[in-house]
Amino acid sequence: MYGFFALLVHGVIYSMVMGAVFRTRHSTGLGVFFCLLGTMHFLETYLAATFFIELPFGLISPGSTVMFTGKLAFFLLLYIKEDAEVMRQPIYGLLAGNVLMIALGLILRLYGQTANLPGYNPDFNFVDQMGLLMVVGSLLLFIDLIALVIIYERLGRSIAKTVPMRMFISLSLVLSFDQAFFYLGLHFLAGVPSSAFFGGWIAKIAAAAFFSLVMTVYLHVFERQPLPARARSAGDVFDRLTYRHRYERLVERVGRDALTGLLDRGQLDAKGAEMLQAAARSNASLSLMMIDIDHFKSVNDSHGHVVGDGVIRTIAETIAATKGEGAELFRYGGEEFALLCPQALPEAMALAEHIRAAVADNRHPELERTMTVSIGIAAFPTHARTFWRLIEKADAALYQAKAAGRNRVSPALPS
């Protein structure tokens, strides 16, 4: 009976302190809460490997039962009240810190003979064992939290609409998985008997019910604001917990113009050569339009660069909406664009006229006049057989259009 009471007190104190620190996150910052999680992570792992009490249904450890289950519950609370991008921060910190602990322990062996102090001799076997357990625990925690959030979100769209039931089912399923794998690690590293597996599993399910109730009371009493509405897929949760979405956004931004979001000059050089080679292999046509905004300098001079940037964006959007499928639009530089389209010269001329008219029909409220563009066109293989020559011919055609009065389309001269 004393063992049950001790675990209950352990869980109550843990919940009160962790909840109080979490409650003050907006004034003290989340760093305080994260540091508390990190401190508890070491004690939790140590107790889970060495400290067990015997109950009628088996051996259990307060570190594994109370502290780990509580940590998962507070991580889930962190996700519910903040986001997956906030929740992932302490996970990576814990994993990096544990790996660093092992690395520094290995380096300390280079010191050779250490001073012999009574009662304070270093135990590197303990450091190695704890470091390995904490790294394994952090990796399992990472997997657990991905599964926890995915299950929690899936339950919200199916059988468990209420937060308490969603939390309990999510925690129970994830803790069952974790108990199996963490026990295997403890069994092989520390020789923990099988009674610890069954006793720990029963205790963790009970702890999941306890912490689900605690989280529900906390949300009802201390943070009664409506919970953020989310309908995230498993892929979205995984992306946010692993930073994959940031990598994908970075890849997407590389080679794009910051102002318009269009592909930039470097992308034109690469994609243009590829498209021309593909056209040559398949005996197809390819046309390049060089598009320049007429009298753009006067916009910057009279209205400023902010208005000028807005004009560039608006015209870029108009061209992008008009270019049709299969064509690639680039910002060539300044107020000039390049458009590659898989069409022969007659079709490209018709498309260019359509683009010119669409731009001229635009209204710019901040200006006293409409804006127009001049367009020069060169086609492969009619005017050039290399991409660099195609650019030269289209650029020369653009200057012909501007010299002829602007707001017009001009084809390149025959080679």
Assess if residue 115 is contained within a domain: no
Mean pLDDT score, 107-134: 72
404 pLDDT band (50/70/90 cuts)? very high
Query: Residues 241, 271: one domain?
Result: no
What's the mean per-residue pLDDT of the chain?
82
Query: Residues 20, 87: one domain?
Result: yes
Query: Residues 301, 396: one domain?
Result: yes
- CATH number for the domain spanning 404: value is 3.30.70.270
Query: Residues 203, 317: one domain?
Result: no
State yes or no: pLDDT of 286 exceeds 80.
yes
* Closest CA relative to residue 33, chosen from 66, 81, 65: 81
Query: Residues 199, 272: one domain?
Result: no
Beta pairing partners, 106: none
CA distance 80 to 72: 12
State yes or no: pLDDT of 408 exceeds 90.
yes
What is residue 236's predicted lDDT score, i.e. its pLDDT? 58
Assess if residue 380 is contained within a domain: yes
CA distance 22 to 32: 8
Query: Residues 38, 97: one domain?
Result: yes
Please say which residue of 249, 270, 291 terminates a domain.
249
Please say which residue of 217, 249, 281 terminates a domain.
249
Query: Residues 240, 330: one domain?
Result: no
367 pLDDT band (50/70/90 cuts)? confident
Mean pLDDT score, 195-201: 78
| 119-128 tens-digit pLDDT | 666 677 777 7
Query: Residues 223, 265: one domain?
Result: no
What is residue 415's predicted lDDT score, i.e. its pLDDT? 65
Query: Residues 136, 204: one domain?
Result: yes
185 pLDDT band (50/70/90 cuts)? low
Sign of the torsion formed by the C-alpha atoms of 48, 52, 57 and 58 = positive
Close Cβ partners of 243 (under 8 Å, ≥ 6 residues apart): 88
Query: Residues 241, 286: one domain?
Result: no
Assess if residue 118 is contained within a domain: no
pTM: 0.56
More confident call, 101 vs 9: 9
Query: Active-site residue numbers?
Result: 335
3-state per-residue secondary structure call for the chain: CHHHHHHHHHHHHHHHHHHHHHHCHHHHCHHHHHHHHHHHHHHHHHHHHHCCEEECCEEECHHHHHHHHHHHHHHHHHHHHCCHHHHHHHHHHHHHHHHHHHHHHHHHHHHCCCCCCCCCCCCHHHHHHHHHHHHHHHHHHHHHHHHHHHHHHHHHCCCCCCHHHHHHHHHHHHHHHHHHHHHHHHHHHHCCCCHHHHHHHHHHHHHHHHHHHHHHHHHHHCCCCCCCCCCCCHHHHHHHHHCHHHHHHHHHHCCECCCCCCECHHHHHHHHHHHHHHHHHCCCCEEEEEEEECCHHHHHHHHCHHHHHHHHHHHHHHHHHHCCCCCEEEEEECCEEEEEECCCHHHHHHHHHHHHHHHHHCCCCCCCCCCCEEEEEEEECCCCCCHHHHHHHHHHHHHHHHHCCCCCEEECCCC
| 230-258 tens-digit pLDDT | 545 555 555 555 554 454 454 445 578 88
What is residue 358's predicted lDDT score, i.e. its pLDDT? 93
**Cβ atoms of residues 118 and 172 within 8 Å:** no
Query: Residues 275, 358: one domain?
Result: yes
Q: How many distinct structural domains can be found in the chain?
A: 2
Query: Residues 83, 132: one domain?
Result: yes
State yes or no: pLDDT of 65 exceeds 90.
no
335 pLDDT band (50/70/90 cuts)? very high
Residue 184: domain span: 2-110+123-249
Assess if residue 117 is contained within a domain: no
Assess if residue 116 is contained within a domain: no
